[in-house]
Amino acid sequence: MARWSAWAAAFCVVAALSAGLPTDPETRAASAPAKTDEADEDSPEVMPEGQGRDETFYACVGCHSTMLIRRQGMTEAQWSATLDFMTERHGMPKLEEPDRTLVLNYLARTYGPKPSTRPASPFLQKLN
């Protein structure tokens, strides 16, 4: 009997959750999240201005969105290793000089390491 009650309860939960979902295409389209500027990544303008922005955009968006780039926060050495990795493992066309330096400098300057937003632990002592 307990087994039957568990199945009945699970069915009720699934039915209740599905009841609120729209089934017709018009309602689903109307309830879809609105397209934001964040999602509009078809031009270099989604990236901060700076020397190398256009070169960086066109070198990277052939394979992935700029959102992936903008979230990284890596050092220049990490960006350099990432460019090498993309070329060697994923078939990205090799960036020749001066384009490689231009792209690398833009990435390191614009998407460098991010400062921590977490407060320091009150249990850690300051070392002087």
Under a CB-based contact definition with an 8 Å cutoff, are residues 41 and 65 in contact? Answer: yes
Q: How would you write the chain as a 3-class SS string?
A: CHHHHHHHHHHHHHHHHHHCCCCCHHHHHHHCCCCCHHHCCCCHHHCCCCCCHHHHHHHHCCCCCHHHHHCCCCCHHHHHHHHHHHHHHHCCCCCCCCHHHHHHHHHHHHCCCCCCCCCCCCCCCCCC
Q: What pLDDT score does 14 carry?
A: 55
Residue 36 has pLDDT above 60, yes or no: no
Domain-located, residue 120:
no
Domain-located, residue 29:
no
Domain-located, residue 69:
yes
Give how many domains the chain has, as a whole number: 1
Domain-located, residue 9:
no
Higher pLDDT among residues 34 and 76, named by residue: 76
Q: What pLDDT score does 121 carry?
A: 73
Q: What pLDDT score does 39 carry?
A: 45
Q: For 50-88, how does the pLDDT look when each residue is reduced to its tens digit (9 = 90+)?
A: 999 999 999 998 888 889 998 999 999 999 999 999 999
Higher pLDDT among residues 43 and 103, named by residue: 103
Domain-located, residue 101:
yes
Question: The domain spanning residue 93 has which CATH number?
Answer: 1.10.760.10
Q: For 78-122, how does the pLDDT look when each residue is reduced to its tens digit (9 = 90+)?
A: 999 999 999 999 999 999 999 999 999 999 999 999 887 777 777
d(CA 37, CA 98): 31
Domain-located, residue 83:
yes
Q: What pLDDT score does 115 carry?
A: 81
Domain-located, residue 20:
no
pTM of the model: 0.60
Domain ranges, residue 97: 46-110
Under a CB-based contact definition with an 8 Å cutoff, are residues 99 and 53 in contact? Answer: no
Q: Is the dihedral of CA 58, 59, 62, 63 positive or negative?
A: negative
Domain-located, residue 60:
yes
